[in-house]
Structure formats: structure tokens, C-alpha cells
């Protein structure tokens, strides 16, 4: 069957720049990578096909030859010496993938992050960074706005005390893995392609421990329950995430530990509602006090305070106490406390109280209830 055009495989024009080629390859490689399509033979074939196309077009010399001669440029029968990297001139498509996704740096790559390709592995003896962990904690409203310290109990993989995380018995030595020759990978050929896989003997370390630690089985860590103290700053809210460096899972074979991320969930409070760094508090006020004016006591986070409400205060009126809200978690001062008046209507009146209120009602005319008067006048105008 005739081979497809390399430009068509990558979905680019013949005059595309190197950056355009790379962008197209990245997109297709992510889509058809075997790790994202387990057991899908067609996806694996597609991945190899786009790897072959990019291998040719990303090399200026090979691209020039392809543009001039097409696929015949890489036919070993058409030129002496065969391909530069094997029968067809191409190497492992996974290697191409790693090169493109490494970003040119010396560290881990997006390939390693997405597909577990070993970006966490250290170059010395296969040491590998431990996993990050998440722990959800529920705290009270007061603990959130004032700050507190919590101790959490966590069962996780910790460093083995017996071997100090090395994975080896005392005085035991390590030697180069004979299966992979210290490379951590074994390569198998499939036609013109070479597939690199993690070495099954050393698990990618490249080295083999002569006498593995009996306690941890040579991995340098084992499951243990730990108690960790977490300091929660004032001003956090539901969804706030705290990082505790090095308190995640221990690394294998002496690798650094991961981090612990504590996610907070704040219980609702009966007295206050929160709006960012501001607080809202509904305070009941007696009918008489709202009508005549009074000084009332209101709760705050640090105790009680007093405010003066003027005569004729209506229900829903809001008074602001500046700086009496929540401390900003980033250190930018405090929010405000908004006190909302809820006028309380008297209930369970006795005969004498009812008589006095009736007398009061007869003494009042429409001028003492301007809001009611205005409302009903507007309502009447709707039906004229």
C-alpha cells in the first residue's frame, strides 16, 4: 500500500515553518499516544505514522530530500549506506515524542508528566520523588477567621527507618543492571521501529541492589501513620489550599518526598455570614427602639460593640463597623462588619398592652407612616 504524504499526515502545508510542524505534531501525538489509547492498535499505528512524518520533516536535510524525491529519499535501496538511524532512517517514535515535548530543557518533560515516563526519576540510582497528597479538613467558622493549628493523622508511604530510604541492607552495594546495561530501558525492534520500554529487572533504575532491605523490600519506604501539625492562618475560607512541603509520600530509593496539600472546608456560622473579607450580621431590634432610637449591642469577632440607631430606623437598614470583619489572608488589612437591622414585632400581647397599642394607633395619622402611605398611593395609581 502506498505511503501517505508526510505533510498530509501532520495536517500542514508544504511551506509550513518548523514551529508550525512542531505544534501540529504535539497536538496529534497527544491525541494518539498509546498511553491515552490502551489496546487501540489503530491509534498506535497512527502514532508511529505521525512520528515518522515529523522525524523526516523536522530535520532540514531530510525535509529537503523528501521535498525533492518523496518517500524514495529514505529507501535504503535508492542510496548507499542506508538510513542514518537504521533501515528507514527513523528512530523510536517515543524518542521523538520526548524530544518535542521536553521543551529543550534538561529536566522532565510534558511527556513524563502526562504519561509517567519517568520525569520524577533522579539520575542517581533510580531515586524517584514521592507523590503529592491531598487531605481535606473541616474547620469551624471561628477557626477560619481567627486562625488555628490542627493536627491531622495521615497514613502514607514514609521513608524506611531500617535502610534510611536507600532500599538496601547495611553495607550492601549496588551494581549495574545486566539486563539494560544501566540505561533503565530495554529496546525491542519491530520492523523499522525500535520500541523502548522500562527495564523489567531494575524498574528503570539502571542499577540493582545486591541485598535489598528486608523491611521495605528494596523500595526505601513503607506505609506508616503520621501525625502532622498544620498551621491555618486567619482569613481562610472554603476551598483554601495549604501546602506542607515534604509531608507527602516519601520518595523511593532516597528520592525527595512529595508535598501535602490540605484543602479546607468551613462550617457555616449561626451568627455571621461571610462575603469575602466582610461579615454580615442580622441583629433584632425592638419595635420601640427602632421607633424612638436607641443604643444597641452587636456581636463582633472579638467581643461585643455598641452602635447608635436613630429614631425611625426601618427594618433592613445596614450599619457598617469598619475594620470589624475578617483579616485578609494575604495580609491586606481587615474587612468590615455590616449590621443589618431586623425590626421585631411584639407578640403574645396581654390585654393592657393591646389597649395601649390601640390607643397609640388612634393617635397616629398617615404622617408617621410615610413609607406605607407612598406605597399604597402608587398601588392605587396602577388601576386608574
What is d(CA 168, CA 253) in angstroms, rounded to the nearest whole number?
A: 8
Q: What is the pLDDT of residue 191?
A: 56
Task: Tell me if 187 sits within 8 A of 194, measured CB to CB.
Answer: yes
- 262 and 278 in a single domain? The answer is no
Residue matched to cell numbers 501540529: 24
Residues with Cβ within 8 Å of 87's Cβ and at least 6 positions away in sequence, in order, are 76, 192
pLDDT (0 to 100) of residue 87: 39
Based on the domain organization, do 254 and 291 belong to the same domain? Answer: no
Torsion, Cα 185 188 193 195, to 10 degrees, reads -40
At residue 79, the pLDDT reads: 43
Give the total number of structural domains in the chain: 4
Domain C-terminal end among 234, 250, 266: 266
In a domain, 28, yes or no: yes
Helices of type H across the chain? 6-10, 18-32, 41-57, 60-69, 93-101, 110-115, 141-146, 287-292, 351-363, 370-381
What is the CATH number for 168? 2.60.260.20
Measure the CA–CA gap between 104 and 54, rounded to whole angstroms.
17
> In this predicted model, what pLDDT tens digit does every residue of 136-164 receive, in sequence order?
999 999 999 999 999 999 999 888 888 87
Residues 166 and 218 in one domain: yes
pLDDT for 70-92, tens place per residue?
Answer: 877 776 544 433 333 333 444 44
pLDDT, residue 94, reads 54
Q: 336 and 220 in one domain?
A: no
Per-residue pLDDT at 98: 52
Domain identity same for 227 and 313? no
Give the domain extent around 337. Answer: 273-345
Alpha carbons 334 and 320: distance in angstroms, whole number: 13
Q: 308 Cβ partners below 8 Å, 6+ apart? A: 293, 294, 295
Are residue 47 and residue 149 in the same domain, yes or no? no
Angle at 95 (CA atoms; ends 66, 36), nearest 5 degrees: 105
Integer Cα distance of 188 and 307 in angstroms: 81
The pTM for the full model equals 0.57
Residue ranges of the chain whose pLDDT lies below 70: 1-2, 75-126, 189-194, 383-384
Do 244 and 166 share a domain, yes or no? Answer: yes
pLDDT for res 82: 37
Contact between residue 199 and residue 185 where contact means Cβ atoms under 8 Å apart? yes
286, 361: one domain:
no
My answer on whether 165 and 66 are in the same domain is: no
List Cβ neighbours of 303 (8 Å cut-off, separation of 6 or more): none
Same-domain pairing of 16 and 90: yes
Distance CA 12, CA 6 (A): 9
**Domain-embedded: residue 40:** yes
Q: Which residues contact 229 (CB under 8 A, 6 or more apart)?
A: 149, 150, 151
Nine-digit cell string for 266: 468551613
- 289/300 Cα distance (integer angstroms): 21
Residues 10 and 106 in one domain: yes
> Where among 246, 266, 286 does a domain terminate?
266
Angle formed at CA 355 by CA 354 and CA 360, multiple of 5 degrees: 95
| Residues 214 and 328 grouped into a single domain | no
- Dist CA 253 CA 256 (whole Å): 9
Which residue, among 329, 149, 323, has the nearest Cα to 238 in the 3D structure? 329
What residues contact 75, with CB distance under 8 A and at least 6 apart? none
Specify if 69 maps to a domain: yes
Predicted pLDDT of residue 317: 96
**Nearest 5°: CA angle at 143, between 138 and 146?**
150
Q: Is residue 180 part of a domain?
A: no
Q: Minimal CA–CA distance to 237: which of 307, 306, 128, 330?
A: 330
Amino acid at each position: 500500500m502506498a505511503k501517505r504524504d508526510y505533510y498530509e499526515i501532520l495536517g500542514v502545508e508544504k511551506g509550513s515553518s518548523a514551529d508550525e510542524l512542531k505544534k501540529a505534531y504535539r497536538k496529534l501525538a497527544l491525541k494518539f499516544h498509546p498511553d491515552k489509547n490502551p489496546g487501540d492498535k489503530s491509534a498506535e499505528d497512527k502514532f508511529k505514522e505521525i512520528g515518522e512524518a515529523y522525524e523526516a520533516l523536522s530535520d532540514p536535510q531530510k525535509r529537503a530530500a523528501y521535498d525533492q524525491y518523496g518517500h524514495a529519499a529514505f529507501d535504503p535501496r535508492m542510496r548507499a549506506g542506508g538510513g542514518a538511524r537504521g533501515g528507514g532512517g527513523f528512530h523510536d517514535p517515543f524518542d521523538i515524542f520526548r524530544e518535542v515535548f521536553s521543551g529543550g530543557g534538561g529536566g522532565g518533560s510534558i511527556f513524563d508528566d502526562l504519561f509517567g515516563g519517568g520525569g520524577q526519576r533522579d539520575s542517581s540510582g533510580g531515586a524517584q520523588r514521592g507523590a503529592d497528597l491531598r487531605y481535606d479538613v473541616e474547620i469551624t467558622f471561628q477557626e477560619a477567621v481567627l486562625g488555628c493549628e490542627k493536627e491531622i493523622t495521615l497514613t502514607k508511604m514514609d521513608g524506611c527507618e531500617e535502610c534510611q530510604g536507600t532500599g538496601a541492607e547495611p553495607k550492601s552495594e549496588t551494581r549495574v543492571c545486566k539486563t539494560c546495561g544501566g540505561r533503565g530501558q530495554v529496546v525491542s525492534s519491530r520492523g523499522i521501529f525500535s520500541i523502548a520500554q522500562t527495564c523489567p529487572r531494575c524498574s528503570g533504575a539502571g542499577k540493582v541492589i545486591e541485598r535489598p532491605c528486608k523491611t521495605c523490600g528494596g523500595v526505601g519506604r513503607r506505609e506508616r501513620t503520621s501525625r502532622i501539625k498544620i498551621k491555618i492562618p486567619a482569613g481562610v475560607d472554603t476551598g483554601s489550599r495549604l501546602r506542607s512541603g515534604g509531608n507527602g509520600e516519601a520518595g523511593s530509593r532516597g528520592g525527595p518526598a512529595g508535598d501535602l496539600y490540605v484543602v479546607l472546608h468551613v462550617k457555616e456560622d449561626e451568627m455571621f455570614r461571610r462575603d469575602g473579607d466582610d461579615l454580615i450580621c442580622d441583629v433584632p431590634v425592638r419595635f420601640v427602639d427602632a421607633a424612638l432610637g436607641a443604643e444597641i449591642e452587636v456581636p463582633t469577632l472579638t467581643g461585643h460593640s455598641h452602635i447608635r440607631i436613630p429614631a425611625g430606623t426601618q427594618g433592613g437598614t445596614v450599619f457598617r463597623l469598619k475594620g470589624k470583619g475578617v483579616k485578609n489572608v494575604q495580609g491586606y488589612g481587615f474587612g468590615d462588619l455590616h449590621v443589618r437591622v431586623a425590626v421585631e414585632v411584639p407578640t403574645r400581647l396581654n390585654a393592657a398592652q393591646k389597649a395601649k397599642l390601640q390607643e397609640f394607633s388612634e393617635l397616629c395619622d398617615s404622617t408617621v407612616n410615610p413609607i406605607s402611605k407612598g406605597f399604597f398611593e402608587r398601588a392605587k395609581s396602577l388601576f386608574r
